[in-house]
C-alpha cells in the first residue's frame, strides 16, 4: 500500500564520505545525511496530508502515526515501527483495519513487512532501482529519480529532498514520493505509466510532529 492507501514510509540513507572533492554525478547527487533523517520514525511522530483526487471534488485527508516500536532483533536485525493510518478518501469499509509495519534494516533499507520487500533500498543514490515487494503481486519497480529536489507546501519549503518513483505496469500506475530531511514524506503524486499522463491524485503534507529531532511544525 502506498502513501495513498497504506502510506507510512521510512527511508534508510547510506552516509557518504570522500577524502577528495569529486565532480562525478553520483557524488554530486547523493544524500549525505543519516538514513533516519529522511523519514524520522519514532514513537509519537505523526504526519497529516491533504488529499486531492482529480475525479472528485470532496476534500480528504490522510493521518499516520507511529504508535509502537519493537526493538527486539528480527532475523535481519533492526527496529520495527508500527504505524496506524487513516485515509478519509477511502470508504469506511475499504480502510485498512490493521497497522503497517516497517523494519529499519541496517545497511539494506526500509523493509515493508506486509509487502515482503523494500520501499527504500540502499544505496540511496541517483538512478538506483530495486523490485517491489513479493506480496504486492505486481511487476513493480522503485527508482530514485532526484536527490536535490525543492518542495513547496502550504506550511514550508524544503530543499535537498529525495524523490522515489514506483512504476506498476500491471496497474498502469506511477507513484512519486518525495522525502525531505528531518520531515519525512512531504508530497506524493499518482499518474498513469505513460510519461505525459495527467496527475490523478496528490497528497500534500500540511501538519507534522517529529518528537526525536525537531519540534512540532504546521500546528
- The per-residue pLDDT for range 77-105, each reduced to its tens digit, is 689 999 999 999 999 998 888 899 988 88
What residues does 143 pair with on adjacent strands?
A: 129, 165
The backbone torsions φ and ψ at residue 41, rounded to the nearest 5 degrees and listed phi first, read -85, 125
Residue 6 in domain: no
| Helical H segments across the chain, by residue range | 25-28
Q: Give just the sign of the alpha carbon dihedral 133, 178, 195, 28.
A: negative
Ranking 9-18, 92-101, 103-112 by mean pLDDT, the lowest is 9-18
Residue recorded with cell 483495519: 97
CA distances (Å), origin 189, targets 166, 174, 216: 10, 8, 25
Higher-confidence residue: 131 or 22?
131
- Percent of the chain having pLDDT more than 70? 77
CATH number for position 205: 2.40.360
pLDDT (0 to 100) of residue 4: 42
Its domain, for residue 102, covers 25-209
Q: What is the pLDDT of residue 32?
A: 52
- Tally of domains within the chain: 1
Select the more confidently predicted residue: 4 or 64. Answer: 64
217 — pLDDT class (breaks 50, 70, 90): very low
Residue in this structure with the C-alpha cell 497529516, named with its chain if needed: 48
Mean pLDDT of 37-64: 91
Q: Is residue 176 part of a domain?
A: yes
What pLDDT, in 10s, does the model give residues 36-45? 778 889 999 9
Is 33 part of any domain? yes
Give me the phi and psi of 166, to 5 degrees please: -110, 125
Residue 219 lies in a domain: no
Q: Establish if 42 belongs to a structural domain.
A: yes
pLDDT of residue 136: 66
Amino acid at each position: 500500500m502506498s502513501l495513498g492507501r497504506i502510506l507510512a514510509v521510512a527511508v534508510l540513507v547510506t552516509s557518504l564520505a570522500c577524502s577528495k572533492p569529486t565532480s562525478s554525478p553520483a557524488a554530486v547527487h547523493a544524500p549525505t545525511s543519516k538514513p533516519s533523517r529522511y523519514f524520522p520514525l519514532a514513537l509519537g511522530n505523526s504526519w497529516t496530508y491533504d488529499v486531492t483526487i482529480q475525479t472528485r471534488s470532496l476534500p480528504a485527508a490522510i493521518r499516520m502515526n507511529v504508535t509502537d516500536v519493537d526493538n527486539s532483533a528480527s532475523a535481519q536485525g533492526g527496529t520495527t515501527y508500527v504505524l496506524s493510518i487513516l485515509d478519509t478518501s477511502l470508504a469506511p469499509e475499504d480502510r485498512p483495519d490493521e497497522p503497517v509495519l516497517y523494519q529499519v534494516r541496517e545497511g539494506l533499507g526500509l523493509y515493508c513487512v506486509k509487502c515482503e520487500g523494500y520501499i527504500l533500498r540502499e544505496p540511496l543514490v541517483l538512478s538506483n532501482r530495486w523490485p517491489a515487494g513479493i506480496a504486492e503481486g505486481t511487476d513493480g519497480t522503485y527508482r530514485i529519480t532526484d536527490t536535490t529536489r525543492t518542495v513547496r507546501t502550504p506550511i514550508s519549503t524544503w530543499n535537498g529532498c529525495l524523490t522515489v518513483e514506483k512504476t506498476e505496469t500491471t496497474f498502469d500506475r506511477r507513484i512519486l514520493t518525495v522525502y525531505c530531511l528531518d520531515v519525512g514524506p512531504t508530497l506524493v503524486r499518482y499518474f498513469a505509466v505513460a510519461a505525459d499522463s495527467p496527475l490523478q491524485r496528490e497528497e500534500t503534507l500540511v501538519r507534522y510532529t517529529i518528537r526525536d529531532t525537531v519540534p512540532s511544525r504546521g500546528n
